[in-house]
Structure 1
Amino acid sequence: MAGVTKVSVVLALLAMLAAWRYFPPVPDSIEEKGKFRGLIFSLKLQDDLAAILESLGLTTKLSLMRAMQNILNVKMEDPSVKVTDTTFAGVKVRLYEPTGRKKAGKGPGLVYYHGGGFCVLNVDSHHHITLHLAKTLGVVVVSVDYRLAPEHVYPAALDDCMAATKHFINNAEKYDVDPSRVAVAGDSAGGHLSATVSLKLSQENFRPMPRLQALIYPATQFVSFNTPSYRQSGHLFTLSNKRTAFFKSNYLAGDKSLMQTFLTNENLSDKFNSSHYADYLDPHLIDPKIPPRPPGKKMSAEEVGPNPRHLLDPYISPLMAEETDLRGLPRAYIVVCEHDSIRDDGIFYSKRLEKAGVQVQLKHYMSGFHMVFQLFDYVPEFGRFKVGQDMMEDLKEHL
């Protein structure tokens, strides 16, 4: 009898541990809590399986993540949109051309950069998004299949997106598109690439510039993991702090060597904290009830020091760009989600763009979380979230 009791206690403890691991509390403002719990369960189960297989030397975490995503990809088709896999300036792209568009002059175009932490996902994982945009808006869409880390570290993804975007704008008339009516958009890492492509095109005096940059929960800085949203939502597995550090380290270094630096904020030196760069991360900009920090001293990246210097590169952290470089950027539509560790990246960037005179609209979804936009119109239907549908409808109004 005593043995049975011990077994029962052990099983109860294991059940409690499993519940703690796989079914954590759901934030109150997240709607469709059952779906969210199912999503977290599947993500954590995949992560644990990857850790076990990696420890056995059978595969890597990224390889398993990519394999699982390939299984989940659904290739949707629509007779009203011609879909072609091709290359622009040597970069793989997927081209969407609506077949029933009325010829009333040259139409608008859209270049889309998919999310995935610079390491996973591709044009297939976002096919349902880009197909829907092409069909419902009647616009030509180019989805860029940029090279992924860790096989191809920074600046490979940016280089690919720049090359494909320039090619499309320069050859827009071939696709019956007005080159002055091309927008760029992307989610997560793709939002980062939308921002950095816009910034780099401006620095190169490229013309015509994109008419709009749509940044969907973008990562705009690699400098600090100590913002209010990292502290508030960094435990959520849709984009935990550890997961973010894993992706960013692979993007910059091609391995996990920078993870600890990111997670412990080792790069935030005293010089950085006393510089004007730290002003761009002032929590007062997120919560006015927090007293503003004293203005920092104007310094160059070299003066701040060697440790964080490359993180201050505006093509890695567009939030850290000089104000003169932000002026003249295309108008911005920025989406942030309340339950997202990088929520503040989008808010901080919107403040900087506004101060530089750029027209900005910031949309804050209080029930949103990272990756929910990707679940728009997801198959199977039980994986869809209403807030993702709302985000898509709002995005279309701005494109």
Structure 2
Amino acid sequence: MFMHTIWDVRGCSLEISTNSIWFSVEYRLSPEYKYPIWLNDCIEVTKYIIENKTLYGETSTKVGVAGDSAGGAIAAVICHTLKNIDFQILVYPLTNMLASFPSSKRFTDVQYGLIPILRHWFNDNAIRDGNDMRDARVSVIFQSSFTGLPPCLFIVAELDPLLDDKYQKLLDKAGIKTKLVLIKGVIHSFFHLPGIFPKSCQQAVEAIRDFVAQV
């Protein structure tokens, strides 16, 4: 069995660990390219992989999407847009730009990385105006339905302002198979920092490997 996963983290190789093929999508970035350009880029690439998966595997090939932070939100939206995704991997995803989580009030010190002023800066540069924050293709938590989605692995960081994100609960309520892995003692974006968090990154990789093997 072959598995292809669309991943948005540049330089992140999981091919050996999961015995699968991973594609890193070089979508156009903000602030030069605001929503919906970057989302449409990712959707189009995913559609291409699905329609041409025999070029990389065979007809039984499974296709999944994955991403971290805003990339996790993009992966989640793709699953709502394209109904033939086989699995999704969301690493500390930002699913609601409007939300003020209890965790976002606990982890406001600069040591936690994603402080409120930085999060607002990212939001302001990624979208056109405040109306986009309520768009279900930006804040996926506003989707009208959560049924029919593929199984989902959530990887979350213990010291993350997004720790209390509620997206998994919505999927669980809709009957979607989910699994949550809490990585203790790490901040948002730890997965980009294997030199600083080697054991934590390895734990995340092993969780992804086990999840993909069971899909």
Query: Scaled by the length of structure 2, what TM-score is found?
Result: 0.91
Which residue, 148, 161, 164 being the options, matches 1:328? 148
In the alignment, which residue of structure 2 is the partner of 1:110?
A: 5
- Aligned residue type for 1:210: I
Residue identity matched to 1:244: R
* Corresponding position: 1:374 with 2:187: no
Q: CA deviation at 1:309?
A: 4.8
Decide whether the 8 Å contact of 1:337 with 1:365 is kept in 2: yes
Contact 2:104–2:161 (CA<8 Å) still a contact in 1? Answer: yes
In 2: Cα distance, 1:328 partner to 1:146 partner: 26
> Which amino acid in structure 2 is aligned with residue 187 of structure 1?
D
Conserved 8 A contact 1:108-1:177: no
- Residue equivalent to 1:146: 27
- 1:214 equivalent among 70, 89, 98: 89
2:109 pairs with one of 225, 235, 241: 235
Counterpart mapping for 1:181-200 below 5 A: 181-200=62-81
C-alpha change, 1:242 and 1:177, in structure 2 (3 Å) is: farther
Q: Which runs of 5+ in 2 are unaligned?
A: none
Flag structure 1 segments of 5+ consecutive residues without an equivalent: 1-105, 115-125, 203-208, 259-307
CA distance in 2, matches of 1:318, 1:180: 27
Distance 2:131 2:124 in 1: 15
The one of the two structures with greater contact order (alpha-carbon pairs below 8 A, sep at least 6) is 2
- How far off is 1:179 after superposition? 5.8
Q: 1:343 aligns with which of 135, 138, 163?
A: 163
Deviation at 1:161, TM superposition (A): 0.5
Provide the rounded CA distance (Å) in 2 between the counterparts of 1:309 and 1:146.
23
Query: How far apart, CA to CA, are the structure 1 residues paired with 2:158 and 2:190?
Result: 12
* Contact 2:4–2:61 (8 Å) recurs in 1: no
Q: SS of the counterpart of 2:127?
A: helix
* Equivalent residue pairs, number: 211
Distance 1:351 1:327 in 2: 13
CA-based RMSD of the aligned residues comes to 1.7
Q: How does 1:49-128 map to 2 (within 5 A)?
A: 107-114=2-9, 126-127=10-11
CA positional deviation for 1:177: 4.2
- Mapped partners of 2:176, 2:101: distance in 1: 24
Identity of aligned residues (%): 29
Q: 1:142 to 1:177 in 2, by over 3 A?
A: farther
TM-score, normalization by structure 1 = 0.51
Higher helix share: 1
Are residue 223 (structure 1) and residue 98 (structure 2) matched?
A: yes
Letter in 2 for 1:109: H
Q: State the shift of 1:110 in Å.
A: 1.2
Shift of 1:372: 0.9
Decide which of 147, 159, 171 is 2:40's aligned counterpart. 159
